Structure 1
Amino acid sequence: MRLYLLPVSTRRTLLYAHRVNTGGTAHDGSLIDRGAAFAARKWAQWEKMERGWQRKVVDYGNQAFRRIPFEEWGLKSVPPLSARRREDELRGRDPVQLVFPPAAIPEHKAEGVVRRLATERQALHRQRLLWCFVGMPITAPLGLVPLVPNIPFFYLVYRAWSHWRAINGGKHIQWLLQNKLLQLAPSKELDQLYTRDGQDPDFEPSGKEQMLITQKQIRDFSATLDLPAVEIELERAIWQVERALGKDEEQQAQQADKTTAVEEEQEKKDKDKQS
């Protein structure tokens, strides 16, 4: 397995796991994973439909999925730590490489970055997993309505599975770190995608968070890594970070306007007093 660290901005990084050697662990998937695979195939069938309620569900669902934090998708890509996988990794039959661009993430910081990504959202996922379990019995009676799919219930089931996978993906990474099983693999090829005009990609000239990847570069990344599946992960991550930075700038502009208005009002009061 390979773990990829792909900085999206100077402060946010996409984690993506790719199972290089699936021959030894492909068949040990849990019942939950097999159910998720079945749901994915059914979803793909609905996406091919031109009209109908299935097409509408897919359209609205894809919009909702795009808003699920990319950090959660990254942790979900890391397989849960089964007994067989634990033994394979301990015995070196399934080595785990940590691939990263050293120009953006210095080698001595790589393990710290992946540790942060594995742990910083664990409490949030546990809390939201609990709320999904609370909501399932409430929405389950909607399934009694004939000819109407119980979308709220199935969405909560999916979100519960998603949070569960993210929690277990994070635990897997923590176990790898604790047992010193991560093999650092700095990538010069990735460096070439991040380095522009000799400028350090981790540099923030204005002291503000800066984007490091654009939508136009996504295919370059997938071609360099030979990972077509990473395209959708990068597209989602870039879209979310750009929106977040846009909101931050808007809030800062609004705060600046308020500050200016207060200062102008104070100056007006001072002039009135002097007159």
Structure 2
Amino acid sequence: MRLFLFPISTRRTLIYCQRLNVTTSEQQTLLDKGTSRAAALWSSWEKKESGWQKKVVDYGNKALQRIPYEEWGLKSIPPLSARRKEEELSGKEKVEVSFPGSLIPEATITDLLRKLGTERQSLHKKRMMWSFVGMPISAPIALIPVIPNLPFFYLVYRAWSHWRALSGSKHIEFLLDNKLLTIQPSKILDDIYASGESPFIPTPALEQGSTTTSGSEAEKMLIHKSTGKKIAEVLKVPELEMELDRAVWQVEKAISAEAELKREKKDLDGVNEESKKEK
């Protein structure tokens, strides 16, 4: 198993797990098999040119795009089963951490991993429980003929998603507590990041300069959509492209929204100052 740390901006990092040597169906749990079947069904609906399945997929993909990239990253980490726990403790399965050493100091890796693994635990617990609460409330919709019970299935998916993210975070804690990680800076990632485009800076941030109102350096993007594709190709992990694209899209939106909010606050402060002077 290999954990990747991808800095998305100067303040945010995506964690992603590449599961190695998973080649046979016997190694998959029933949950994994069920997830694979659901993914195959979803893929078949995507190929339809019209109909309610196509509409469900279109709306569903928009909803999935808005699920925090942090949650997707934690979900990529497999739950800690008894077999996996034994293999990791015995050293049979190695866990490597790969990251661009030019952007993340090696000495900070364990602290960063612990933060990424634990900062959202309470959130996932709370939202998982609310999803369970909503299931019986939405279940009666199934009595309506023809119309599929989409709210119920969405809540089922969200409950599973939060559980999976929570399981991934606990797996990280286990690896850290037992010092089972092999930290390995990646020159390949260093080269990719170094050859990337100029950092993305939203217009409002440019207007305010390179610092925030608190005096700290403004957050900047470190990768772009094209960088994500290149990383996926070089590392030969195709699914990474989607994960990085989603993270880049979400972080760019967050930075732009934050910069716009600060610009509006600055304008409002200016108006207030002028009003005071007039008085």
Fold-level match, TM-score > 0.5? yes
Alpha carbons 1:101, 1:188 under 8 Å: kept: yes
Show CA shifts across 1:32-87 (max 9, x none).
33222211111011000000000000000000000000000000000001111111
Deviation of the 1:218 alpha carbon:
1.7
Which shows bigger deviation, 216-225 or 152-161? 216-225
Show CA shifts across 1:235-264 (max 9, x none).
000000000001001100110111011111
Question: Amino acid of the residue matched to residue 2 of structure 1?
Answer: R
Query: 2:221 matched to 1:211?
Result: yes
Other-structure match for 2:15:
15
Q: Secondary structure at the match of 1:137?
A: helix
Query: 2:185 matched to 1:175?
Result: no
Other-structure match for 1:263:
273
CA distance in 2, matches of 1:173, 1:83: 15
Which shows bigger deviation, 178-187 or 155-164? 178-187
Other-structure match for 1:6:
6
Alpha carbons 1:2, 1:18 under 8 Å: kept: yes
CA distance in 2, matches of 1:42, 1:195: 40
CA distance in 2, matches of 1:205, 1:244: 17
Q: Secondary structure at the match of 2:162?
A: helix
User: Could you list the runs of 5+ residues in structure 2 that have no partner in the other structure?
Assistant: 199-208, 212-216
Q: Secondary structure at the match of 2:221?
A: coil
Query: 2:255 matched to 1:245?
Result: yes
Deviation of the 1:111 alpha carbon:
1.4
Show CA shifts across 1:131-188 (max 9, x none).
0011001000001101000000000000000000000000011101111111111101
CA distance in 2, matches of 1:23, 1:64: 31
Question: Amino acid of the residue matched to residue 22 of structure 1?
Answer: V
Number of aligned positions between the proteins: 263
Alpha carbons 1:133, 1:160 under 8 Å: kept: yes
CA RMSD of aligned residues (A): 1.7
Other-structure match for 2:99:
100
Query: 2:103 matched to 1:126?
Result: no
* Larger of the two Rg values belongs to structure: 1
CA distance in 1, matches of 2:72, 2:225: 18
Deviation of the 1:205 alpha carbon:
5.5
Query: 2:245 matched to 1:235?
Result: yes
Other-structure match for 1:273:
none
CA distance in 2, matches of 1:189, 1:109: 20
Alpha carbons 1:190, 1:224 under 8 Å: kept: no
Alignment of 1:77-116 (within 5 A): 77-116=76-115
CA distance in 2, matches of 1:86, 1:6: 26
Structure-2-length-normalised TM-score? 0.91
CA distance in 2, matches of 1:233, 1:144: 37
Structure-1-length-normalised TM-score? 0.92
Which shows bigger deviation, 215-224 or 177-186? 215-224
Deviation of the 1:223 alpha carbon:
2.0
CA distance in 1, matches of 2:107, 2:26: 36
Q: Which has the higher contact order (CA 8 A, sep 6+)?
A: 1
Show CA shifts across 1:68-111 (max 9, x none).
00000000000001111111112222111000111111111111
User: Could you list the runs of 5+ residues in structure 1 that have no partner in the other structure?
Assistant: 270-275
Question: Amino acid of the residue matched to residue 43 of structure 1?
Answer: W
Q: Secondary structure at the match of 2:78?
A: coil
Question: Amino acid of the residue matched to residue 113 of structure 1?
Answer: L
Alpha carbons 1:129, 1:164 under 8 Å: kept: yes
Q: Secondary structure at the match of 1:147?
A: coil
Other-structure match for 1:195:
194
Seq. identity, %: 52
